[in-house]
Structure 1
Amino acid sequence: MNRSPFSKPLQQPVSKASSANTSAGLRNLHQLIQLRWIAVVGQLLTIQATHYSLGLPLPLQAMLSIVAGMVVFNIASLLRWRTRRGVHDVELFIGLLIDVAALTAQLYLSGGIGNPFVFLYLLQIAVGAMLLRGGYIWSIVVVASACVVLLAQHSQPLPLATNVHDGWASPYVLGLLVCFMLNAILVVVFITRISHNLRRRDARLAAVRQRAAEEEHIVRMGLLASGAAHELGTPLATLAVILGDWKRIPALTQDPVLQEEIAEMEAQVKRCKTIVSGILMSAGEARGESSSQTTVRQFLDTLVQNWRATRSVDTFVYDNLLEGDSPMVADATLEQMVFNVLDNARDASPHWVRLQAQCDADALRIVVTDRGPGFSAAVLRHIGTPYQSTKGRPGGGLGLFLSMNVARTLGGSVVARNRPEGGAEVTITLSLAAITLQDTDSEDHGH
């Protein structure tokens, strides 16, 4: 069974938006995991400095048990992150709650709000404000505030003088300075990273929305083209009948010049009817219908032959550099995509156009070159946007816009540039896996 490359399911904008959210969620979860590892190391260093260096008594067993619990939870979070499944806000919220609970337990065992590291709650709130939305943010604020209130009433005492007038000689002042610097550094580092992740997500979502708008634009143009093709069918048929009658009128048969012009008009009407039929047929082929089997080399040779037969250009250079050949589906939409690029090149350079085809690894590259004035800087900046054209006529720029969307549908791309020696070059890159023929019948026999 022959299948058009356009019959393959396309990735919808909704799934792409979901992918952007999934990627951002995973990166944010990874930031939390890294922050928790820093908290583990920081708590171990603080316990060591307070208990052994300053000689202040601490319940080491209980405090180290809390650190061990954070390590276990962080390992579980790391394993969750490696599954690459989407991360929901509730998971980030639970992780932050556990971090707040661990901090509260450590402060309870080491002086409560008399411990200078009580200001680390502000770091948890700042991270939550960047990661979470709506009620989750205020829930973190309420929980952290409640923990501070509880620590003011209930905590195990720590013999730490809070006289700030002693300056550097006061362990409390040193703890405040360390807590301040730690908060400042971690806020800058992690908030910057999280903001970068969110900006990347927003950029991807904006690209998805732009892609959806372009696809909607293409659908509208397709409907208009199909309707116009239906409407043009009747007048073209009428013109063909009239021209046939003219050929048989005795007064006209005796004039060879008129007969030649009538024959030319018939040829042009026939070409118009072929174009209209192709528009109507391509709608069916885009769903995998009416496609025919060929090879990549034959498809390109036939495409070039058809284009040269219907367009006038002084010099057309065709370089087929394909070393091998692969079966594929001849699709009118794919052919029209290349025609659009060739037509643009001919309009810019009616005296010379070149098409070069070659295979690079698993991709087919079609390079169309001309000797025209090239693209303006404004057009190159907005290449592929509809109605961006150097031709200065209404509706210009649609050909390259449609070509880029067709190539993107096939997992490829269209890149335009100006050549240093003059003229323009448009490179169409298509994945061979997307355009080659899939022989499903042989697969079915193999089962």
Structure 2
Amino acid sequence: MTTPDTALQFGPSSRRLRLQTLVWLRWLAVAGQGTTVLVVAFALHFPLPLLACAVLIGALAAANFLLSVRFPSTYRLEPLAAFAVLALDLFQLGALLFITGGLANPFVPLICVPVIISFASQPLRHAMALFALAMLLISALPLSPYPLPWYQGGAPTLQPVMQVGVWFAITSMMAFAAFYAYRVSQEAALLADALSATELVLQKEKHLSQLDGLAAAAAHELGTPLATISLVAKEMERELGQDERFGEDVQLLRSQSERCRDILKRIATLPSESEEHMRRLPLSSLIEDVLAPHREFGIKIDLIEKSDRSQEPVGIRNAGILYGLGNLIENAVDFAREKVTVTVEHDASKVSIMIEDDGEGYSPDVLQRIGEPYVTNRQRDDKAGGLGLGLFIAKTLLERSGARLRFENRAPDQPGARVEVVWPRHRMEA
């Protein structure tokens, strides 16, 4: 369950790269590089600058060991620190490739790994800087004077045209993989933040629904001391009722204490008297609760009920449904020119609520992505300032209650937008 404290963790700060993740990946790189060098040198007996390779691999292992000792496993790197660590990995791998054949080395594509990690977890400006650094290192590899470790008799060499082809293949693969990782991570991050915001909305609604219980508890706790005050006031009135100096004040004190007792009595009995009414809500009452706050904004709201109220469903009061429908009505009122029409229909199998306005409707590009987080949902932007989360939260809450939503524009001769929300009847009555 999301709490208000965790709400402070939304956004980029909550997605900083965990150091332990990099440490484990680097230990894997150390193991892979060490195993490869040993196999090439001692199993295949290829000539290899063994000492230089050992120094580079040992440097990576030492840096990794220092990081794991210096920082706790839960430590999350700032973007600049993550950039420095990944840049060090790039330099180490680039140097290792440079002394083992350059672009002719079959392990050259591994230089893309730090860049992909950066695009998947870091701010774009740091990821682009690392991409540029990787491009410089890849461009330096063709200049390597070291031959590819190979059998005696001459190592294979790449012709200039082939080197250019390999260079383009690696850079294009790195660019594509980096862009793909960036898009996927951004969509996942936005969805996670939007779902967290949805949980906060539900928690707020739950807290509001608990206020009646808190009021009853407060009335019960205050009842005893107030009864004592009332009793003392009666005794004082009996003794000082005819006193010229204090008689009037004592009578006022007693009358106000009686008034307080009446107020507390009403508060204490309100939940028990109206609990069933508040818990179970007919469809017509639910619609009226949703529409009432939006009737005072100069936009006419027409309610059309196609079915008989005597057969309407009666369900448990659902804060998610109230919030979701309220958000859809609010959007319709915001963008309507003159009128919003709400059509309610129900039968034995389903319940349908259709919300229509006479505004400009949805733009074609937005209509394809409607309901996604951080997408503004209409053509006009004169009410800018939100993040496009409202419609996503409304859609999520309504779908959680069992509804299906359909967003569309009205007919060409009837400009405006239309939203249809349909529940199976048993879900509304559950």
Please, what TM-score do these two structures have when normalized by structure 2? Answer: 0.43
Please, what TM-score do these two structures have when normalized by structure 1? Answer: 0.41
Higher-RCO chain (CA-CA 8 Å, sequence separation at least 6)? 1
